[in-house]
């Protein structure tokens, strides 16, 4: 891939900020709104923030790890950046669109690249009803919450609550309970990527629940509808040797 103009953005940590300054000294850069490609320096959290911030720009993002985990980031290297960009391979992702209705009847929309999660707000467990494509699949679940994760997000919060890791090209989503009490031993479901998932909050006044799309939170919801938004496409660039698919497979065998 050939890019004429690049932008460099960085997280707040000193290591990321200083790396950004060195890259700006070494390569001609422009503001993100004028760039053909955006270089993001930080960890996975900053990559998520960058994807959200520049989603409407429609330009690919090449991340380099200056954070902790860096699952979605390439190895940091200051030399040969333009050559790495020329050789980079693109992966296209589609976010989830959350439409949440709160207890006052207000509608809230947000996009999630990793997951949409429902979480209890008080000491009382949440009571939820699960509907898939208009069919009620579970009348009542007592739990701390539930989440719907994309393949890209399946290695994040989803895996920490024992959800499945999904290959990027599997075209499925993971519906994973969080500390489920009833029904006992229910471990969730793997769903086709084009389903519509509707989550109803039972007893929202006495058992309030919040809905979170990545880092956008809506408090005291009564109903949350989630579907994949195919009209929005995110492009991530990776070094050929990075092989995100291979990293996802290897992640499933870590002890």
Query: Residue 76 carries which DSSP code?
Result: P
- CB-based contacts of 89: which residues, under 8 Å, 6+ apart? 237, 238, 239, 240
Give the bridge partners for 110, in sequence order. 98
Neighbours of 251 (CB within 10 A): 13
Cα separation of 173 and 113, whole Å? Answer: 12
Cα separation of 26 and 186, whole Å? Answer: 54
Question: In this structure, are strands 172-178 and 189-192 parallel, antiparallel, or unpaired?
Answer: antiparallel
Cβ pair 122, 157 in contact under 8 A: no
Cα separation of 221 and 213, whole Å? Answer: 13
Q: Concatenated DSSP letters for 105-169? A: S-EEEEEESSEEEEEE-SSSPEEEEEEETTEEEEEEEEESEEEEE-TTTTTTHHHHTTPPP--TT
Q: Judge whether 102 counts as a catalytic residue.
A: no
Instruction: Give the containing element (helix H, strand E) for 50.
Output: helix 44-53
Cβ pair 234, 55 in contact under 8 A: yes
Q: Residue 174's closest CA among 241, 105, 96?
A: 96
The active-site residue out of 25, 44, 80, 239 is 44
Q: Which residues are catalytic?
A: 44
């Amino acid at each position: 891939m050939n890019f004429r103009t690049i932008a460099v953005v960085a997280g707040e940590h000193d290591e990321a900020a200083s790396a950004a300054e060195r890259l700006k000294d070494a390569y001609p850069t422009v503001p993100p709104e004028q760039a053909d490609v955006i270089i993001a320096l930080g960890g996975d959290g900053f990559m998520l923030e960058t994807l959200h911030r520049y989603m409407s720009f429609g330009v690919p993002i090449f991340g380099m790890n200056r954070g902790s985990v860096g699952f979605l980031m390439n190895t940091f290297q200051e030399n040969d950046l333009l050559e790495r960009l020329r050789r980079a391979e693109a992966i296209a992702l589609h976010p989830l669109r959350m439409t949440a209705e709160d207890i006052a009847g207000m509608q809230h929309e947000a996009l999630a690249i990793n997951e949409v999660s429902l979480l209890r707000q008080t000491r009382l467990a949440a009571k939820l009803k699960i509907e898939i494509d208009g069919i009620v699949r579970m009348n009542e679940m007592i739990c701390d919450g539930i989440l719907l994760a994309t393949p890209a997000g399946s290695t994040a919060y989803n895996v920490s609550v024992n959800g499945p890791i999904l290959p990027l090209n599997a075209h499925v989503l993971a519906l994973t309970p969080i500390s489920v009490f009833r029904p006992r031993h229910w471990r969730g479901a793997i769903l086709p990527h084009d389903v519509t998932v509707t989550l109803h909050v039972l007893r929202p006044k006495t058992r309030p629940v919040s809905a979170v799309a990545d880092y956008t939170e809506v408090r005291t919801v009564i109903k949350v509808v989630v579907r994949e938004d195919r009209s929005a496409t995110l492009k991530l660039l990776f070094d050929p040797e990075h092989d995100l698919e291979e990293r996802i497979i290897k992640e499933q065998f870590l002890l």
